[in-house]
Amino acid sequence: MPGNPTNRREEFEQIFGRVLPLIDSALLQHYGLSRAEATEVEECLRDWFHGFVRRPGTPCTLDQLRPHLLSMACNAGHVYWSGKIAEEVPLDGNVRRSLALGPQRIAVELEKTQEARENPGNDSPKEKS
């Protein structure tokens, strides 16, 4: 992998930081984790992410890495409830919806929402200037 490992780690830490609000939203709003639980999961995701980006062939831009991070965050939220489902069924409608649709679908929805925020007007035909 070309480049200085320290700079690369800083670059990926910046990418993680930029995606963190979406991860936070997924865990708190879509999966109903408490703040403490979400923070713990986010730290685990950060550790996973640093290992993931060191793998050969891993993409290296925010646009390429964000879907992977969101997917893992949604998987973590889903697994959280999978372990508890026998004990207590989540009452929150967002959590029920997220569990019913599955983590991949929620991750795709989050990605599309973020893309729409970053590129307003892309839902209408593109005009050339």
More confident residue, 64 or 58: 64
Residue 129: CB partners within 8 Å, gap ≥ 6? none
**pLDDT band per the 50, 70, 90 thresholds, residue 124:** very low
In this prediction the pTM is: 0.79
Strand runs labelled E in 69-114: none
**pLDDT band per the 50, 70, 90 thresholds, residue 11:** confident
State mean pLDDT over 14-32: 91
User: Hey, where are the domains in the chain?
Assistant: 5-118
DSSP letter (8 states) at residue 30:
I
Integer Cα distance of 53 and 64 in angstroms: 11
State mean pLDDT over 25-31: 93
**pLDDT band per the 50, 70, 90 thresholds, residue 73:** very high
- Among 44-48, 60-64, 69-73, 94-98, which is the least confidently predicted range? 60-64
Contact call for residues 31 and 95 (beta carbons, < 8 A): yes
**pLDDT band per the 50, 70, 90 thresholds, residue 45:** very high
Average pLDDT, the chain: 82
- Among 15-19, 48-52, 59-63, 117-121, which is the least confidently predicted range? 59-63
State mean pLDDT over 76-95: 78
